[in-house]
Amino acid sequence: MYPDEHQLTATIRAALAVLGIDRLTLAIHDASFPSDEDEDVGRGSPYGGGARALLGLASELGFDGLQLGPQGDVSRSNPSPYDGALFTKSPMSIAPKTLAEDPLWAPLCEGVLAPLVAGRPDGSPTRVRQAYAWRASRRLLSTLHDRFERLGGPGAAPLATRLEAFRARWGETLVSDGRYEALFPEDEVTGTAASARHLFGQFVLDEQHRALRAAASARSLALFGDLQIGFSARDVWSWRDLFRTDYVMGAPPSRTNPAGQAWGYPVVDVERAPARALALIAARANRMMADFDGLRIDHPHGLVCPWVYSSSDPDPAAAVVRGARLRCSPNLPDHPALAAIAIPTADQLSREPGVPRYADDWVRTLNDEQVTRYGFLFDALMERVRTAGRHEADVVCEVLSTWPYPLRRVMARYGLGRFCVTQKADLARPDDVYRGENASPRDWIMVGNHDTPSVWLLADRWHGTAAGVARARVLAERLAPRPALRPRLARWLEADARHLSHGMFAELFLGPARRVSVFFADLFGLREIYNRPGVVHEDNWMLRLPPDFAERYARARAHGAAFNVPLALALALVATRDRGDGRTLLARRMLGAARPAAPEVDPEIWSLLEAELAGP
């Protein structure tokens, strides 16, 4: 892709180190991975040939981490990975093309893929065909399982031995899920056959996941898993003795969603069943730590002080607005049942008039013993992380606009930060938490994530508006070290939405945040929306990379319409070159790499950066 790709990768990583960036991750969910043409059944997999090519590109561009989404099995009608199973991985991620590279698996995989690929419905290669992929994966799994059951000869014993080792390690965790599939089948396989197929399918996925880890490690890519806060129907059935019956979990009103979000997720009844709650945390953490190098904790509020609302209210949308925080509500007349489990007393709540109960500082003081009570589940999770040999820096907490005081206190004990999503920055507020300069070194910074529009779509909307002009000028303040050149840089940023996007990418590397995440739609210049949070929409979770993703990326980057990593790093290095550390030399190298990769980018930026480098 670039001349001397290995040298480019080394230079990018050197630039990241000089800029103080400890981690650069690419975030992508399983379904969004590309597939090779001969393996594409309408849905991506992190285990296929296309995924390997994506790992190669990510590594070349200097990424050292891959953030996956939840991998749990989903229903035919609901593709949201955050509603998937906790322990049962999705059979839609089985990739027989790469599985067959193991000689023991090759006889089972022979001829299984071509008919499924041929039957794939027509449609855009950038969209998941959920219904077909769901059915095809079950047919594929049934075929593989039937062949395994009939397998004889020298190939049978080694695979059977590996299956038994998998059963010994994870079978107890999966047994309830197998029973669920037997009792509540979604396809024609029922009873004991469904249970046996279920365990076998999880074994296949475990084999492929271990191969993915090896491939990622060879590319110096750490794998991060996603510990979702929600539960699937099978999890509710399997752990039905663990949940409260009077309340369910949602998200409170916030700047992102002023009306809140009525998720309807079950609430773990820690007070009634503490041992059972710890068993669930231990089982999840053990599996995640076996599968991944690091961990993203989805909505950690749910482990500490979840926002809850009445499960019996016929209008969930209205009920979630009237909800309250579990363990934070000692004196709410509309939620008397929560008083008995409240950790703070009434005099530890905010004394400011008009502070809403969902405000971050609704609880304003806590002693250490109270913080320990709040951290019951979170501390148990972190203990498992440490036991597995991981460090606090390997844990990512998805904290967005809402960060209540009890959660802040619990996370502070581990030095964990929040998310800084710069596209959400309120430029009228110098102290806004989404402004890059207000991040802390322990935060994760990003232009967007799976719940936001891509930066390219937003920049298109902002172009030619007062909002776009304001953002360009704020970025120029951070990116142009010499005041005399700031107006010139601001004009370049204002002139084209693609310029503004690259200015926003460059800001990620200026600090103080030391960990950067890039969502795949932002890397590849996609303008489609991946997910509309809090809304059921037929297009949610459907965006994916096509088989020719690398060629499309190269073409878009040439026009400045996809993330040009060397250009963003050159901007960041120039902006901070007064700190020394060889930044001027690295900036010139990044500039040299960016130019041939983006020949059609407005030449004004090359001239401007050269002028900055030539200055005092």
From CA 456, how far away is CA 561, in angstroms rounded? 8
Q: Which residue has the tokens 């049962």?
A: 88
Give me 454's structure tokens. 């891509």
Three-state DSSP at 23 gives strand
Residues above pLDDT 70, as percent of the chain: 99
User: Exposure pattern of 513-529 as b/e (b: 16+ CB <10 Å)?
Assistant: bbbbbbbbbbbbbbeeb
Average pLDDT score over residue span 18-34? 98
**pLDDT, position 1:** 45
The model's pLDDT over 582-602, given as tens digits with 9 standing for 90+, comes to 899 999 999 999 999 999 999
Three-state DSSP at 518 gives strand
The model's pLDDT over 123-158, given as tens digits with 9 standing for 90+, comes to 999 999 999 999 999 999 999 999 999 987 767 899
| 357 phi/psi in degrees, rounded to 5 | -65, -15
From CA 468, how far away is CA 498, in angstroms rounded? 12
User: Exposure pattern of 314-331 as b/e (b: 16+ CB <10 Å)?
Assistant: eebeebbbebbbbbbbbe
pLDDT tops 60 at residue 485: yes
In sequence order, which ranges of 445-511 are alpha helices (DSSP H)? 455-462, 466-479, 486-495, 497-507
Q: Which helix (H) or strand (E) holds 432?
A: none
Task: Decide: residue 470, CB within 10 A, 0-12 exposed, 13-18 middle, 19+ buried.
Answer: middle
Q: What is the 3-state secondary structure (H, E, C) of 225-281?
A: EEECCCCCHHHHHHCHHHEEEEEEEEECCCCCCCCCEEEEEEEECCCCCHHHHHHHH
The model's pLDDT over 185-217, given as tens digits with 9 standing for 90+, comes to 988 889 999 999 999 999 999 999 999 999 999
**pLDDT, position 244:** 97
CB atoms within 10 A of CB 607: 12
DSSP 8-class letter at 549: H
From CA 324, how far away is CA 332, in angstroms rounded? 8
Three-state DSSP at 481 gives coil
Q: Which residue has the tokens 């197929």?
A: 197
From CA 139, how far away is CA 550, in angstroms rounded? 31
From CA 145, how far away is CA 247, in angstroms rounded? 41
CA 370 to chain centroid: 31
pTM of the complete model = 0.97
Band the pLDDT of 4: cuts 50, 70, 90.
low
Give me 28's structure tokens. 């992508």
Three-state DSSP at 289 gives helix
Residue pair 552/1 in contact (Cβ under 8 Å)? The answer is: no
Q: Which helix (H) or strand (E) holds 310?
A: strand 307-310
Q: Is 20 left (phi over 0), alpha (psi -120 to 50) or beta?
A: left
pLDDT tops 90 at residue 255: no
From CA 372, how far away is CA 439, in angstroms rounded? 26
Residues above pLDDT 90, as percent of the chain: 93
DSSP 8-class letter at 171: H
Q: Which of 256-265, 370-379, 407-416, 494-503 has the lowest mean pLDDT?
A: 256-265
Give me 232's structure tokens. 């699937």
Closest to 268 measured CA to CA, from 248, 283, 287, 288: 248
The model's pLDDT over 57-110, given as tens digits with 9 standing for 90+, comes to 999 999 999 999 999 999 999 999 999 999 999 999 999 999 999 999 999 999
Task: Decide: residue 486, CB within 10 A, 0-12 exposed, 13-18 middle, 19+ buried.
Answer: middle
Structural domains in the chain plus CATH codes: 33-60+67-223 (3.20.20.80), 239-415 (no CATH)
CB atoms within 10 A of CB 38: 11
| 555 phi/psi in degrees, rounded to 5 | -65, -45
Closest to 208 measured CA to CA, from 89, 348, 55, 371: 89
**pLDDT, position 479:** 97
Band the pLDDT of 401: cuts 50, 70, 90.
confident
Three-state DSSP at 443 gives coil
From CA 284, how far away is CA 231, in angstroms rounded? 12
**pLDDT, position 615:** 81
DSSP 8-class letter at 314: S
User: Exposure pattern of 372-394 as b/e (b: 16+ CB <10 Å)?
Assistant: ebbbbbbbbbbebbeebebeeeb
